[in-house]
Chain A
Amino acid sequence: MTISETTVEGMIKDLPIPHNLKQVLLEDAIKVGVTKKEMEEIIERVMEEYEKSCVEPCEAVGVVSAQSIGEPGTQMTMRTFHYAGVAEINVTLGLPRLIEIVDARKNPSTPMMTVYLDEEISDDRDMATKTGWEIEATHIDHLADVTTDLANMQLVIDLNERSMSKREIDKESIIEKLEENLKVSVAPSKDIPNQIIVTPESPSYRELLQLAKKIKTVTLKGIEGIKRVVIRKEGDEYILYTEGSKLREVLEIDGVNKTRTTTNNIGEIYDVFGIEAARNAIIKEAMDTLREQGLSVDIRHIMLVADIMTCDGEIKQIGRHGISGEKASVFARAAFEVTVNHLLDAGLRGEVDSLNGVSENIIVGQPIKLGTGDVHLVARNPLES
C-alpha cells in the first residue's frame, strides 16, 4: 500500500541532508508511489550515498580548491576582452579580472553596472532613454561648443539646442550649475540666443585657460563618474549598462529597479548591500569570469574562497594583506611571500611558533595534521571496563 504525501514528508523532514535533496526525494517518492517499507529502504540508501559523497573529516579542502581554480587559471587569456553581451562597453575579463576579485581591489579597472528598470516602465523605450540620461553624466562638451575669446577675455558657449532637448536640460539650469561649480560670472549673451558668456574673475590669460579646462569637468546632469550608458533590449525589457559604477546614487534615481540593479564593483556592493551580498557577488563574478573563458570550476571551490574572504565581516583579500598575512604561524607567513621580512620581524619580537598548521610542519619536517595525520589511535586497556 502506498503511503500518503504527509507521511513521506514526515519521514524525510528531519533527515540531515540538504534542502534540495529532500525536495527531489519527496517529489519522486510521491510521483512513483511507494510503500512504507520501500520508503525506509530508499532513505537508508540515500543517506548511505550522501555520506559517501560528503567531504571526509580532515580533508584539505583549501588545497583542493586552490588547485581546482589554479589549474584552469593557467589556461585563461591575459588579454582584456570586450564584454560578451554589450559590445560597446569594455570590461576586464580573464585572468586579470580573476586576480582583481581575489585581491579584493577597492576599485576594479573597469567598473560597470547593470541597471534594471521598474516593472511598469521596463518595456518602454522612451522611459529607458530618459532614465539613461538621468544616470549618464552630462558635460558641457555634450551640449555645446566652447570657444575661448582672447580679445574679450571670456569663454563663449554656443549651445546646441538639439542635444539639449535630447538630454532634457535647459539654458537656465546650465547657467545655474556652471555658476555654482565655477564660482565665476555666468550670463546669457545679450545678442545671440543660446549663447552663454563665462567671464573669469580677473582678466588674466592664465585664469581664462584654467577656466576653459575646468568647465569641461562640471557635471551638468546625471551622476558624476558614469561615463556612458548603453541601452539594450533583452527579452521583453530594456536594460541599461553603464560604464563607471555608482551604486548608491543610481539606486536613488526614479524608475530604477531597486531589487535587481547591480554592479561588478564588489567593494561597492559591500558598502551598500552588506557582507552577504558581497559574498554572493564574489561567487557570481568569479563564476562568470571562469565560464566566459569556457572553464568549468565547481562552484563549491569558489564558495569556499568567498566564505573565507568574508568570514570576518569585511572583505579580505587572499594574499599578503589578507588571509595569508593573518596566519598565526611565522613559518606559514614566511612560506608565502617576503620570507626574510617575516622571519626578521618575528625574531625581533621573539615570536613563538607552536607548529599547529600545515606549512610550518612541512618546513620542520614533521607529519602534518591532515587526513590520517590528524587521527590518533587510542588503545583501550582490555582489562579495564
Chain B
Amino acid sequence: MSKFSLLDHELIPHHEIADEDELKSILKHYNIGREDLPKIKVSDPVVKEIGAEVGDVVKITRNSATAGEAMYYRYVID
C-alpha cells in the first residue's frame, strides 16, 4: 500500500497544531478557556497524523459552504 496522508482526503479539512499566541488572542476575544473549545480525541486518526498531544489545540481550516473558509479550534482530550 502506498503511503498517503489523511489530510489529502477530500472529506478531511486541513488540521494543524494551533500557534500559542494566536490561540491566546482568540480565547481572549471569546472570553473562554481552552477547555471550553469543542473537543477532539487524541485517538482521532488525524490527530495522530499531525502528532498533537492531550492539552494541545488543533486548528482546523474548514472549507465552508457558506463562508468559503472558516477556522475552527478543537481541544485535544483523552
Known: A18-B68, A20-B67. A275 touches B41 (CB 8 A): yes
Least distance between B8 CB and chain A CB atoms (Å)? 5
Q: Are B60 and A276 in contact (CB under 8 A)?
A: yes
State the majority secondary structure of interface residues on B. Answer: mixed
In the complex formed, the residue of A with least CB distance to B68 is A20
Residues of B15-53 contacting chain A, CB below 8 A:
15, 38-41, 44-47
A300: interface (CB < 8 Å): yes
Least distance between B37 CB and chain A CB atoms (Å)? 9
Partner of A18, one of B6, B12, B60, B67: B67
Partner of A276, one of B8, B12, B69: B12
State the majority secondary structure of interface residues on A. Answer: helix
Q: How many residues of B contact A (CB 8 A)?
A: 31
Partner of A311, one of B2, B38, B70: B38
Q: Are B41 and A313 in contact (CB under 8 A)?
A: yes
Q: Are B66 and A276 in contact (CB under 8 A)?
A: no
Q: How many residues of A contact B (CB 8 A)?
A: 32
Q: Are B39 and A311 in contact (CB under 8 A)?
A: yes
Least distance between B46 CB and chain A CB atoms (Å)? 4
CA A297 to CA B5, docked complex, whole Å = 34
Residues of A1-45 contacting chain B, CB below 8 A:
18-21, 23
A83: interface (CB < 8 Å): no
Partner of A274, one of B47, B66, B69, B72: B47
Known: A259-B10, A312-B39, A313-B77. A273 touches B68 (CB 8 A): no
Given contacts A18-B70, A260-B10, A275-B41, 7 further A-B contacts (CB under 8 A): A262-B10, A273-B9, A273-B45, A274-B46, A276-B72, A277-B9, A313-B44
10 nearest A-B residue pairs (beta carbon) = A20-B68, A18-B67, A19-B68, A19-B69, A313-B39, A277-B11, A274-B46, A313-B41, A311-B38, A274-B44
Q: List 6 A-B contacts (CB under 8 A).
A: A18-B67, A19-B69, A20-B69, A259-B4, A310-B38, A313-B77
